[in-house]
Amino acid sequence: MRGRLFKPVTLGARVILVRDEQVLLVRHSYMPGWYLPGGGLKRDEAFATAAMREAREEVGAHIRSMRLHGLFLNVSENNVDHVAIYVSSDFHLLPRVSAEIAETRWCLPDDLPAGIARGTAARIREHFGGGGPFHGNW
């Protein structure tokens, strides 16, 4: 029998950190591409708690407040990922070195780096364009 009967379901949270109309991106040491800071939820952890923890661990961002941008589903051949995306401009950064993060970069939304993940670019465009799943009419 080929394939799986069930695809693993993962839960994740990421944060669009905004400063001076720029967004902070990360490039991980273990996979190619540019992403928003974030990662998987721990057992019994809330999405918002995970987003704040991951931002602190990956880039040293201590978030004071944030809002939910949206909940997103990413289905691939092997996984089903549910990801909550938050937005914050109310944070401070402390120096942080992480073996998980190869590079960080502040980018203007209309000048994103080559190799940015498609979903990451879409979420940034939604935010800076005034859109997103929780904006406008239902």
pLDDT single digits (tens) 15-29:
999 999 999 999 999
| Residue 29: burial class (beta carbons within 10 Å; 0-12, 13-18, 19+) | exposed
Which pLDDT does position 4 carry in this prediction?
Answer: 56
Asked whether 54 and 126 are in contact (CB, 8 A), the reply is: no
Domains plus CATH for the chain?
Answer: 9-128 (3.90.79.10)
- Amino acid identity of residue 24, one-letter, is L
- The more confidently predicted of residues 114 and 136 is 114
Mean pLDDT of the chain: 90
Rounded to whole angstroms, the Cα distance separating 112 from 109 reads: 6
pLDDT, tens only, 73-111: 888 777 888 999 999 999 999 988 888 999 999 999 999
pLDDT, tens only, 105-135: 999 999 999 999 999 999 999 999 876 665 4
Which pLDDT does position 102 carry in this prediction?
Answer: 95
Which pLDDT does position 1 carry in this prediction?
Answer: 43
Residue 80: CB atoms within 10 A of its CB come to 13
Which pLDDT does position 136 carry in this prediction?
Answer: 42
